[in-house]
Amino acid sequence: MLTAYKGNIIEAKSPTELGLYPNQYLILEDGILIDILPELPANMQEAEVTDFGDALILQSFCDMHLHAPQYEMTGTGMDLPLLQWLNAYAFPTEARYKDPSYARKKYHQLAKELIANGTTRVSMFSTLHTPATLVLMEELEQAGVTGLVGKVNMDSNAPDYLRETTQESIQETLRWLEGCQQFSRVKPVLTPRFAPSCSPELLTFLGKVKAERGLPVQSHLSENVGEIAFVKEIFPDCGEYWQVYDKYGLFDSHTLMAHCVHSTQTEQNAMLKSGVRPVHCASSNNSLCSGISPVGHMIRQGIGVCMGTDVAGGTTLSMLKTIANSISASKDRYIMTGDESQVLSIEEAYYAATSAGQTFLGEGEGFVRGKALHAIVLDDTHLPLLPGITLRDRLLRGAFRLDDRNITAVISNGIRRK
């Protein structure tokens, strides 16, 4: 079936270039994007056209780092640094997901909220519990959220109530991977929580599974100074944090590393060389007082930075707010360092929030012709008229001034979900 959406279309073609299509049509056949055109082609006069008037049509968001079980604690408990915060707030919350029916209720709500916020693609941490992780994948798939979900591995440096033995972690990972076969739009990602949570034996197993099955990996890297010191202490043979993951075969172009706030130039060079994708989490870096990431510097070197909310270290599920927070944080970095090249442009921030994640998920940049459409409609038409405002500035203004209430349509994988 032929359909079309009409509006002011903006795509993230590269970190430095927006594709702008004022008052044009996204042309679809059975949910697959065929083209973006200024007029409806002659053979499409019968097509079902939805006209969004003067609103913006954007790529939907890729939230490439968040913790599903922590959604319920968003906006609370932000008075401790990372390692203490995990013990005081995150771990007790995650323990509740031992109960799959509790997980069902919470994850159903989370999946709905993601769609409401225009996030149709994710890379997400669950908990160490296999049943709840499968429930999460089911709820996401039903709501139309696509992407990656990981059962968390943690056999070390965690409380008794939220720790697996190494054998349990290995067996449960295999059992979970078996269960994942039922899903078509949500796929597994291996998820060593972070280096301190995993014994060398468990990391060895995960590296082997990754190599054998070609699975992606997600974890945390150089988020907080206390964490980095702890990693040095427990992995004394690794000179820098990234070398722990590298040593076990968990550091390549199919790897997402959340935060990278304190990554040295050597660590950044290693990410560039291996194609590892840092996930910038501006809200969380501020809330947990982790630091201000050199994200502009990383992007300018050609590192494929993605963006994440890191709920619930981060205070919002909104990727619009996350774009705004990222731009603000990059200016704080400039103020602190005097290095103006740290400042993120809207082109870079929108790209990191959309196309960067898409490329990690194997979809290509921008509105991908020949693939199922992922898009949102952002209605800014109630904002004061600013004569001559460009589409670029409307995108920037939207990030700072709008939220889920202004996202009036969401199309995921070719299907309208809002």
Q: Enumerate binding residues for ligand GUN (CB under 6 A).
A: 67, 82, 86, 90, 193-194, 220, 223, 284, 310, 313
Choose from Fe ion, ligand GUN, none: what does 173 bind? Cβ within 5-8 Å by kind.
none
Q: Which is nearer to ligand GUN, 313 or 414 (CB)?
A: 313
Q: At 412, which helix (H) or strand (E)?
A: strand 407-412
Q: Which is nearer to ligand GUN, 65 or 333 (CB)?
A: 65
Q: At 184, which helix (H) or strand (E)?
A: none
DSSP string, 341-397: GGPPPHHHHHHHHTHHHHHHTT--SSS-TTSB--EEEE--TTSPP-TT--HHHHHHH
CB 305 within 8 A of CB 295: yes
Q: Is 259 left (phi over 0), alpha (psi -120 to 50) or beta?
A: left
**Site size for Fe ion (CB under 5 A):** 2
Single out the segment in contact with Fe ion by CB under 5 A; choices: 6-14, 16-24, 149-157, 254-262: 254-262
Min dist. Cβ of residue 281 to ligand GUN (A) = 7
Report the alpha-carbon distance of residue 240 to residue 234 in Å, rounded: 12
Q: Which is nearer to ligand GUN, 230 or 360 (CB)?
A: 230
Residue 172 as a binder of Fe ion (CB under 5 A): the answer is no
Min dist. Cβ of residue 254 to ligand GUN (A) = 20
What is the 8-class DSSP label of residue 222?
S
Radius of gyration of the chain from its Cα atoms, rounded to whole angstroms: 21
Min dist. Cβ of residue 67 to Fe ion (A) = 6
Structure tokens at 147: 């992407």
Q: Which is nearer to ligand GUN, 24 or 284 (CB)?
A: 284
Q: From the centroid of its chain, how far is CA 271?
A: 18
Q: Which is nearer to ligand GUN, 25 or 235 (CB)?
A: 235
Written as one letter, the residue type at 25 is Y
Residue 310 as a binder of Fe ion (CB under 5 A): the answer is yes
Q: Which is nearer to Fe ion, 139 or 310 (CB)?
A: 310
Min dist. Cβ of residue 340 to ligand GUN (A) = 29
Report the alpha-carbon distance of residue 323 to residue 1 in Å, rounded: 35
Choose from ligand GUN, Fe ion, none: what does 277 bind? Cβ within 5-8 Å by kind.
none
Min dist. Cβ of residue 65 to Fe ion (A) = 6
| Phi, psi for 216 (deg, rounded to 5) | -75, 170
Choose from ligand GUN, Fe ion, none: what does 193 bind? Cβ within 5-8 Å by kind.
ligand GUN
Residue 54 CB partners (closer than 8 Å, separation 6+): 7, 8, 381
Q: Which is nearer to ligand GUN, 59 or 285 (CB)?
A: 285
Min dist. Cβ of residue 103 to Fe ion (A) = 19
Choose from ligand GUN, Fe ion, none: what does 90 bind? Cβ within 5-8 Å by kind.
ligand GUN
Choose from ligand GUN, Fe ion, none: what does 195 bind? Cβ within 5-8 Å by kind.
none
Q: Which residue is nearest to Fe ion (CB)?
A: 310
Residue 14 CB partners (closer than 8 Å, separation 6+): 347, 351, 355, 365
Report the alpha-carbon distance of residue 303 to residue 270 in Å, rounded: 10
CB 155 within 8 A of CB 182: no
Q: Which of residues 67-96 bind Fe ion (CB under 5 A)?
A: none
Structure tokens at 375: 């898009």
Single out the segment in contact with Fe ion by CB under 5 A; choices: 35-43, 239-247, 305-313, 325-333: 305-313
Q: Which is nearer to ligand GUN, 93 or 358 (CB)?
A: 93
Min dist. Cβ of residue 260 to ligand GUN (A) = 12
Choose from ligand GUN, Fe ion, none: what does 223 bind? Cβ within 5-8 Å by kind.
ligand GUN
CA distances to 2, 37, 40, 42 from 46, in Å = 8, 16, 10, 9
Single out the segment in contact with Fe ion by CB under 5 A; choices: 134-142, 255-263, 270-278, 358-366: 255-263
Choose from ligand GUN, Fe ion, none: what does 86 bind? Cβ within 5-8 Å by kind.
ligand GUN
Other beta carbons within 10 angstroms of residue 401's beta carbon come to 12
Q: Which is nearer to ligand GUN, 26 or 64 (CB)?
A: 64
- Which residues in this chain contact Fe ion in the complex, by CB under 5 A? 258, 310
